[in-house]
Each structure stands twice: as C-alpha cells, then as structure tokens.
Amino acid sequence: MTQTDIPRLDARALAARDPDTLARLKEAATGVGFFTVHDTAIPAPLVARVLEAYRAFFALPASQKAAVDMARTGSNRGWGAPGSEQVDPAANPDYKQVFDVGYTLPPEDPLAKLSVYGPNQWPSEPEGFHEAVAAYYARALGTAMDILRAVSAAIGRSPDAFDDAFDKPMALLRGNYYPPRPADAGPRDFGIATHTDYGCLTLLATDGTPGLEVRTRGGGWLPVTAPVGEFVINFGEMLQIWTGGEIKATPHRVKGTDAERLSIPLFFNPTYDTNVAPPGAAPVLAGDHLAKRFAETYVHLKAG
C-alpha cells in the first residue's frame, strides 16, 4: 500500500498500547514520517494561551524584540529576526521570525556551561509571556516523552528503551511566526525552506492555519494541518540514525500563503552525551550532531 495520507491517531489509544493504533503508528513512523495526534494530556486552552503570548510578542516593534535578539549571543535563545536562519543552503534564508527557549540545568551540573543548555532570554513584554511559555514547555516535554514511548513500543522495543537518554533533554521550544508570503517572494524564498529536523521527535502545535507541507517518497508535497489542541508529530535525524533508518526523518517546508501563521514546535532532543549511533556503528554524540546542525543553519552561528 502506498502512503497517500497522514494518519490521525488517538493519544489515549497510544497510551493504552492499543495494537491497531500502534500498527498505524509504526506505518506512519517508518513510512511517511508524519502523523497527527488528538486527545493528548495537553489541554487546548494551554495551547491557545501560549499561541496568544507568541502572537503578542511577534506583534511588538522590531526595536523592542531586538532587546532579546539571539544574534547578540553565542547561543540560540531568544528572538530570531527574519532571515536569521537558513535551513536549506540552496534556498534563501527563511522569512519567518522565531523565538527559542531551551532546557536549563542547575549551575552545578557538569553540562550546564554548554551552549545547548544556554540561559533563556525573556522579554519584559507581553505580560505573562514567560509564564505561558514555561507552562507549555513543561507539558510538551511530558507529552513528547509519552509519544516516544509509544513509538518505541510500536517498533517492537521496550516502551522505556529511550527514557534514560532524555534525563537532561536538549529540548528546544520554538515559536514560529510566518507573515503573509511577501509579494516579492521568489522560488528560493520560503517561510521555512525544505529541511529535516535534527533531533528525535518534534511535537508541533499550530494555530490551525494551513502551510506545512511534507515531502512524499514520490517527491510530491502533502499538506498537513492540525487544529488548536491537536498536534503534528514527526521524527528527526537522530532517531533515524539511532534506529538504523527504520524511523524516517522526512523533509518538510512552509512556502507560506496570504494568511499569517503561528506554529510551535518542541524539538525533543536527547541528553548531550547520548550516543545515537546504532549498535556496532561509530559513535554519534547527540550534542555534537545538534551543535553542528545549529552552526550550519543559524546565520549568526555560521562559521566564517
């Protein structure tokens, strides 16, 4: 059977390890590499609240957002202006704006000084922004782990096979703001150009506006949408490496439309010193892979 559609799965059935739902999950994870999920533990009003917080932040004048511009740091926490990221070297830098927050460790932790655990920057406005983002971040981490456990079960491994690797996850939460596609945008201009995600699993909330497109094995593009309260799930490069290619990191993009759009991916990346190579292969350190991909794509971190 060729995969022509993106499956929509019930998170409660995944948590109960319902065999039919796990079979559909396995087909999605090893086939198209994307599915959507409903009835997770994350309440829709929490998503609506964080969407409004990001919307209000991105509506601020650039001069105000510049106070938390990540370009002034050696890391990737805070605001990323339009053009601050180039995910596809064959395309122009993306026209989206972003706001990134990550996982922080207590100062005495031996890994605390690494830039993948760098300090977050919080804007003074809009009011309640820090609280809304931090509350969503905590819930999203738990749900990402729940779904990864179901994925592990679906491919015939112990559900907790990946647990130890997410002790100190280099998990990055991003608000993406896509303005309407600029009138002068050309064939090399994208909200976010074609890319694969870097980590293990991405839990993506959107404001319900279409825009995300997933590349099929045949080379076509399949639109994916999820209303507020449902989520798009896809897999990243590290999980593809780790599973010897069984789970697919599928390329995707947002060209953009006449409508503005918000999306909120949680990039669920493992602990820095996790070896994500399959058994018998040369080690691949999760922290090295992530730092390399950040250095390739964030314009302010690009070498030379």
Ligand X SMILES: O=C(O)CCC(=O)C(=O)O
Query: How many chain residues are in contact with Fe ion, going by CB under 5 A?
Result: 1
Q: Which of 84, 263, 269, 271 binds ligand X (CB under 6 A)?
A: 263
Distance CA 270, CA 268 (A): 7
Those residues with Cβ within 8 angstroms of residue 27's Cβ, 6 or more apart along the chain or in another chain: 3, 7
Residues in 169-208 that interact with Fe ion by CB under 5 A: 197
146 binds Fe ion (CB under 5 A): no
Inter-CA distances, 288 with 15, 275, 291, Å: 32, 10, 5
Return the number of the residue (22 or 94) whose C-beta is nearest ligand X: 94
Return the number of the residue (21 or 79) whose C-beta is nearest ligand X: 79
Distance CA 103, CA 286 (A): 15
Return the number of the residue (7 or 256) whose C-beta is nearest ligand X: 256
Select the binding partner of residue 30 from Fe ion, ligand X, none (C-beta < 5 to 8 A, by kind). none
CB of 228 to ligand X, least distance (A): 13
CB 298 within 8 A of CB 76: yes
Select the binding partner of residue 40 from Fe ion, ligand X, none (C-beta < 5 to 8 A, by kind). none
Q: Long-range contacts: 18-27, Cβ < 8 Å, 24+?
A: 22/150, 22/153, 22/154, 23/154, 25/150, 25/151, 25/154, 26/154, 26/155, 27/3
Residues in 62-81 that interact with ligand X by CB under 6 A: none
252 binds ligand X (CB under 6 A): yes
Q: What is the largest CA-CA distance in the chain?
A: 53
Q: Which of 37, 50, 101, 192 binds ligand X (CB under 6 A)?
A: 192
CB 14 within 8 A of CB 147: yes
32 binds ligand X (CB under 6 A): no
CB of 155 to ligand X, least distance (A): 23
CB 206 within 8 A of CB 226: yes
CB of 197 to ligand X, least distance (A): 5
237 binds Fe ion (CB under 5 A): no
197 binds ligand X (CB under 6 A): yes
CB of 209 to ligand X, least distance (A): 9
Residue in 58, 123, 70 with CA at minimum distance from that of residue 294: 70
Single-letter amino acid, residue 59: A
Q: What angle do CA 152, 154, 159 make, to 5 degrees?
A: 35
Distance CA 70, CA 272 (A): 21
Query: Of 72-80, 126-134, 135-143, 204-212, which part binds ligand X (CB under 6 A)?
Result: 204-212
CB of 31 to ligand X, least distance (A): 19
Footprint of ligand X (CB under 6 A): 174, 176, 192, 197, 204, 206, 212, 252, 254, 263, 265
Footprint of Fe ion (CB under 5 A): 197
